[in-house]
Amino acid sequence: MSRASRLRLPALAAGAAMIALVLGACGENMTTPDETDTTATDATTPTVAVNSSVAGFDAQQVYADAAPSVVTIISILGDGGLSGGGGQGSGFVISDSGEIVTNAHVVTDAEDTGASNPSDIHEAKQVYVEFGDHNQVPADIVGFDPNADVALIKVDPDGLDIQPIELGNSDDLAVGQPVAAIGSPFGQQQSLSTGIVSATDRSIDSLTQFKIDGGIQTDASINPGNSGGPLIDADGEVIGIDQQINTTSGGNEGVGFAVPINLAKRSIDQLRDNGEVSYPYLGVATMTLFPQLAERLGVDTDHGVLITQVNPGSPADEAGLKAGNDRFRFQAQQVIGGGDVIVEADGDQLEQDGDLATAILDKEPGDTVTLKIIRDGKTEDVDVTLGDRNDAESG
């Protein structure tokens, strides 16, 4: 399913070029079910694009072990027939009972509508799963999480050669370690590409106003149709879900992104149990307070995050957290100074924006987090009772 085909395509200016961050640009549009079926079966021989610069990585063994778990997903948005729009993406089997993980944009209309409010995102009318042995069966959507771009679907395993893949640990990733992506780029099923982890802790777009923190950047080739497929480590375990690319052409240019599997596990568990996912909600916008900015603001700390916005009526607002209104440019950045600086969350030191998001995500709606802040040169603790992000998005 192409986040390339069905997600909004925000543009980033890079010099004279406009770089499109193709969220889910890993999927492929289709106009009719027949066209999709034809595309899905065009490739009878697996395509392998191996990055020879990655040493000590047995791509053939990784592929042999993982490929049977990877599937092609075909979604129909309309009522079917020649008028039913849709798309094609990838996914991977995680249980003997027929559970399959993919991107939410693969099995919803998020790309077509460009909606950012979860209530405006709708499930596909029909979903089909094609396995590597060319069995193709209908699937039910268990649920989807637009905040993490994760969906859980399920097929009846009876009569199918179900081979689940192991889920790894994305918290242990190191820049430079080899990875592999398997999926259906441009309809070419069971295609393998390899590369490395180019960076960790990237902030990448979700299907809502909120970002996905901890995103994995890779130079493994990710193209339309790869959306929802697994990013796999040397042990053959899934460490991410291929989701989007940075591109000036619509194709892969060596900058791809994946949803970290540890975040996806949280979504999978809640979707399985409840059919939806809840997130704790604080209600602030922040920026990393680097030492030079701290000096410019006259704040006596070498770490922390500066509050630049407090959403009215949010838990942060009710707890009395403050944003400033002193707008200025500093080292090519737009800064809103004068607000509170958060230096710790529940005793853990904050170094950058993502640290606050991680600390909050470890909680549940209704939990209390203690934030150590600096305000007007004085340090104090503020207790905040977290809300539910779903309530904020629907409000």
Which one of the listed residues 109, 112, 149, 355 is annotated catalytic?
149
List the chain domain ranges: 3-274, 280-394
**Which of these, 267, 239, 218, lies nearest to 104 by C-alpha position?**
267
Min mean pLDDT across 78-87, 104-113, 150-159, 274-283 is at 78-87
Say which of 69, 184, 191, 227 is annotated catalytic. Answer: 227
Q: What is the average per-residue pLDDT within 30-35?
A: 39
Question: What tokens were used for 51?
Answer: 């990055």
Which pLDDT belongs to residue 25? Answer: 43
Per annotation, catalytic residue among 2, 5, 69, 105? 105
What confidence score (pLDDT) does residue 224 get? 86
Give the C-alpha separation, 232 to 241, whole Å.
9
Indicate if the pLDDT at residue 313 is higher than 50.
yes
Non-local CB neighbours of 196 within 8 Å, separated by 6+ positions = 51, 54, 175, 176, 177, 178, 179, 218, 219, 220
Averaged over 140-150, what is the pLDDT? 97
Question: 67-88 burial string, b = 16+ CB within 10 Å, else e?
Answer: bbbbbbbbbbbeeeeeebbbbb
Q: What is the dihedral of CA 246, 117, 214, 273, to 10 degrees?
A: -130
What's the CA gap between 251 and 199, in Å, rounded? 20
Relative to beta strand 99-102, strand 86-93 is antiparallel
Q: Which CATH class is domain 3-274?
A: mainly beta
Residue 336: pLDDT band by 50, 70, 90 thresholds?
very high
Residue 302 has pLDDT above 80, yes or no: yes
294 pLDDT exceeds 70? yes
DSSP state of 6: H
Q: Residue 60 carries which side chain, given as an amino acid letter?
A: Q
Q: Under a CB-based contact definition with an 8 Å cutoff, are residues 224 and 5 in contact?
A: yes
Domain 280-394, CATH class in plain words = mainly beta
Backbone region of residue 51 per phi and psi (left: phi > 0; alpha: psi in -120 to 50; beta: other values)? beta
Active site residue 105: yes
Confidence of residue 39 (pLDDT cuts 50, 70, 90): very low
What average pLDDT score do residues 141-155 get?
A: 98
Contact between residue 228 and residue 26 where contact means Cβ atoms under 8 Å apart: yes
Residue 101 to residue 129: CA distance in whole angstroms: 11
- pLDDT tens digit sequence for 365-389: 999 999 999 999 999 999 999 999 9
Residue 303 falls in the annotated catalytic set: no
